[in-house]
Amino acid sequence: MSLLSWGKYPKIKNTVFRFEKEEILKPIIKTYRSIIPYGNGRSYGDSALSDIVIHMRPHDYFINFDEQKGLLHVQSGVLLSEILESFVPRGWFLKITPGTKLITVGGAIASDVHGKNHHVEGCFSECVQEFEIMLADGQVTTCSKESTPELFKATCGGMGLTGIILNAKIYLKKINSQFIDQTTIKTKNLKETFDAFEEYKKSPYSVAWIDCLAKGNNIGRCLLMVGDFRDDGQLDYSHQSNLSVPFDFPSITLNSWCVRSFNWLYYKKVKQRVSKQKVDIDTFFYPLDAIQHWNRIYGKKGFTQYQCILPKESSYEGLKEILEIISDSGKGSFLAVLKLYGKANDNYLSFPMEGYSLALDFKMDKGLFELLDKLDKIVLQYTGRIYLTKDVRVNKETFEQGYPQIETFRQYRKDHNMDKKFQSLQSQRVEI
C-alpha cells in the first residue's frame, strides 16, 4: 500500500507502517531513515510523503478531559471531526480550526494550522499545553513552551521533521450553540474588499471567497463572511455527508469557461451588499467537508493549492498584481480564499504573519509551475512567504527567503540528529 497526499501529486511508492503501539514504533525509528509521520492525508503537497511513512491515524484514543480547564488529552491520530462530534453537544469547540475538520491533532500541530480567527486567536500552537513526541533516538519526551521551548518552536509548524507526535493536550473553548450568526458583505473590487475586512476586523471569525478570474474594475471582488457563535443553547450537533464524487473527473471538465461561469453565478447569488443569516458549524467552518472525495474533480493528475501571505502594508498592491496574473492566465479556480491575519508567532516555520493571504487550487496542467514561479517572484518582491502544508513545488531559494528563522531550524535538526532520520519529499526539495 502506498499513500498519497490530498492533491494526489506526486505519486510515489512507499513503505507504510501503521502506528498502533509505541513498542512497535521505537525499533522502526532506530532501523530506518527517511521516515515521516502521515495523518489523515489532508496535506495538499509532499510534506507527508517519504520512503518510510508512519500512518498515525490508527493512534486515535481519547485519554482524558478536564472539564474545569477545558483541557482535552488525546492521541495524535484523533481527527478534529471526532472531537467536534464528542464535545460540541457538551458545549465545547476547537479554539483554532482550519477549513477542514478531517485532519489529525498531530497534523494540526505539525502544520501549526490556522483558521478564520487568526487575527484574534493565532495558530493551533496557541491552544496546545503540551505533547509527547518520540525523537530520533527513540526516546519519548514531553514538550511544552515552558519546559522545552526550542523543541516546541521547531515542532509546531515543523512539518513532522522533529519526531513523531504521540499525544497532545489542547484547550477547547466554551460555546452555547452549534449555530453562527453570519454576515455576508458583497464587494465590487479589491479596494472594497480590503475596506470591508478592516470594517469588520473585530469580528472573531472572517473569511472571503474571492473571484480570482474577475478582470478590470472587478479585480478582487468577493463575498466576505464574518460571524460569531449564537447564544441560543442549541447544541444538538451531528454531521452526515451524503454527497460524494464517485470517480476522477476527466481533466477537460475543469476548464476556464467552467470556472468563470461558476464564479459569476456564485457571486451573483448574493443580491444585497450586506446580508445576515443563521448557519451551522459545518456550513461556516467546513463547507467542502460536506462533499466526500472532492479532490477527484481535478482528475487523475491531481492538483495543488497555492497559498501565499504578504505583510499588511504591502498586501493590497501585491495581491492585486497576483490576481491580475491569475486572471490573465485563465488557470484560476472556484476555490479561492482571502484571509486576514494577526501577528506572527515565534515558531521557526509557522506560516502566518500580520497581513493577508490568498489560497487557491490549480489542477495539474501544462504551464502551471511556470505560472506559479511568476507568482513566487511577486511574493518575494513584497516580502511574503509560501505555506508548506499546501506546497508541492517551491524551490529552496524562494522558500527560505520567506522564513527568516530557517537556519535556526536547520541547525536544531542537525544538532539533535533529526536531519537524517525524519525526511519528506518536501524537506529534501527545500533542504530543511
Ordered DSSP codes for 282-339? HHHH-GGGGEETGGGGG-TT-EEEEEEEEEGGGHHHHHHHHHHHHHHHT---S-EEEE
Which of 144-163 are b and which e, b meaning 16 or more Cβ less than 10 Å from the residue's Cβ? Answer: ebeebeebbbbbbbbbbbbb
Kindly tell me if the per-residue pLDDT of 111 is higher than 80: yes
What is the pTM (predicted TM-score) of this model?
Answer: 0.97
Q: What CA–CA distance (Å, rounded) separates 147 from 168?
A: 15
pLDDT digits (tens, 9 = 90+) for 215-244: 999 999 999 999 999 999 999 998 767 789
Tell me what pLDDT residue 428 has. 97
Kindly tell me if the per-residue pLDDT of 330 is higher than 90: no
Q: What CA–CA distance (Å, rounded) separates 224 from 222?
A: 6
Which residue in the block uniquely carries the three cell numbers 493551533? 124
Kindly tell me if the per-residue pLDDT of 271 is higher than 80: yes
Tell me what pLDDT residue 104 has. 98
**Which among 394, 404, 386 is positioned nearest to 426, based on CA atoms?**
394
Tell me what pLDDT residue 256 has. 81
Mean of pLDDT values over 175-195: 98
Mean of pLDDT values over 254-263: 84
pLDDT digits (tens, 9 = 90+) for 10-21: 999 999 999 988
Written as one letter, the residue type at 375 is: L
Q: Which helix (H) or strand (E) holds 193?
A: helix 190-199
Q: What CA–CA distance (Å, rounded) separates 12 from 191?
A: 43
Q: What CA–CA distance (Å, rounded) separates 326 from 308?
A: 13
Tell me what pLDDT residue 21 has. 84
Mean of pLDDT values over 39-62: 96
Tell me what pLDDT residue 334 has. 79
Tell me what pLDDT residue 20 has. 81
Kindly tell me if the per-residue pLDDT of 357 is higher than 80: yes
Q: What CA–CA distance (Å, rounded) separates 279 from 260?
A: 27
Label residue 165 exposed, middle or buried (CB < 10 Å: 0-12, 13-18, 19+).
Answer: buried
Q: What CA–CA distance (Å, rounded) separates 29 from 289?
A: 34
Q: What are the DSSP calls for 215-263, one per residue?
A: -GGGTT-EEEEEEEE--S----------EE--SPPPGGGS-HHHHHHHH
- All three cell numbers of 103, joined, read 485532519
DSSP state of 73: E
The band of 333, judged by pLDDT with boundaries at 50, 70 and 90, is confident
Q: What CA–CA distance (Å, rounded) separates 287 from 339?
A: 16
Number of other CB atoms surrounding residue 215 within 10 Å: 12
pLDDT digits (tens, 9 = 90+) for 74-91: 999 999 999 999 999 999
Kindly tell me if the per-residue pLDDT of 389 is higher than 80: yes
**Which among 372, 370, 384 is positioned nearest to 333, based on CA atoms?**
372
pLDDT digits (tens, 9 = 90+) for 406-426: 999 999 999 999 999 999 999
Mean of pLDDT values over 237-254: 83
Kindly tell me if the per-residue pLDDT of 252 is higher than 90: no
Q: E-assigned strands of 39-195?
A: 52-55, 62-66, 71-75, 92-94, 128-134, 140-143, 164-174, 179-186
Mean of pLDDT values over 50-67: 97
| CATH topology (fold) of 179-397 | Alpha-Beta Plaits (3.30.70)
Mean of pLDDT values over 25-36: 93
Tell me what pLDDT residue 9 has. 96
Q: What CA–CA distance (Å, rounded) separates 413 from 411?
A: 5
The rounded mean pLDDT for the chain is 95
**Which among 238, 82, 99, 240 is positioned nearest to 170, based on CA atoms?**
82
Tell me what pLDDT residue 375 has. 98
- All three cell numbers of 146, joined, read 515552558
Written as one letter, the residue type at 153 is: K
Tell me what pLDDT residue 2 has. 84
Tell me what pLDDT residue 329 has. 92
Mean of pLDDT values over 155-176: 98
